[in-house]
Amino acid sequence: MRSVARELAYNAGRARGALIFDLAVLALCFVGFYGNECGLKPFAAAAFPDSPATYLAQCHLNDFLGGAAFLAYTNLLLDLVRSDMRIRRLATSLVYLFFCGLFWEYAAPLFIRASTADPLDLVAYLAGAVVYWLAGLPLRRRLRGHSIERAAG
């Protein structure tokens, strides 16, 4: 067990900037989700009941945040275990989230009765992936030449 803890600590040290970025993204997504559920949705429904913005807040904002959060969570785990496998490219991010979204939107409703398939949710997941990737550009530029970036080759 000590060797596992040492390896995780070593990997965390190597990927420190990336881990901080992913933890910050997860925290922002959590705050955004909570703010949407407790503030924005009720306010928008009361103030602007039939507006497109209310529809987006009620139906797709959490999915958008979920796309970014899921990539951050995935990369956080990869950095702790094997930082050279971190998802860095936009195309890889989109393919990964597309297949995750297909499962969430089309396989999950087969098992979870309250779940419904919505192709626009899939678009929201992918938009979250794009924003996550764009937000990570400065980090990737700063780490360019660092050992965890060289491994991506």
Residue 49 lies in a domain: yes
The answer to the question of residue 151 being in a domain is no
What is the spatial distance between Cα 25 and Cα 136, in angstroms, rounded to a whole number? 10
Residue pLDDT, tens place only, 25-64: 999 999 999 999 999 999 999 999 999 999 999 999 999 9
Residue 89 resides in a domain: yes
pLDDT at residue 84 in the model: 83
Q: pLDDT per residue over 66-82, tens digit each?
A: 999 999 999 999 998 88
Domain for residue 152, yes or no?
no
Tell me how far the alpha carbon of residue 28 is from its chain's centroid.
Answer: 10
Model pLDDT, residue 143:
66
Residue 149 has pLDDT above 70, yes or no: no
Report how far residue 130's alpha carbon sits from residue 18's, in angstroms, rounded to the nearest whole number.
17
Identify whether 142 is part of a domain: yes
Nearby residues of 3 by Cβ (< 8 Å), 6 or more positions away: none
Name the more confident of 26 and 3: 26
The residue among 146 and 40 whose pLDDT is bigger is 40
Helix (H, G, I), strand (E, B) or coil at 144: coil
Q: Tokens 């060289």 appear where?
A: 150
Tell me the pTM: 0.85
Residue-wise pLDDT for 99-145, tens only, equals: 999 999 999 999 998 888 999 999 999 999 999 999 999 877 776 65
| CA nearest neighbour of 76 among 63, 62, 67, 86 | 86
Which amino acid is located at 19 in the chain? L
Structural domain count of the chain: 1
**Higher pLDDT among residues 35 and 18, named by residue:** 35
DSSP letter at 36?
A: I
In a domain, 51, yes or no: yes
Tell me: pLDDT of 152 over 50. Answer: no
Cβ–Cβ under 8 Å, residues 54 and 48:
yes
The pLDDT, as a whole number, for residue 82 is 85
Domain with 26 in it? 2-146
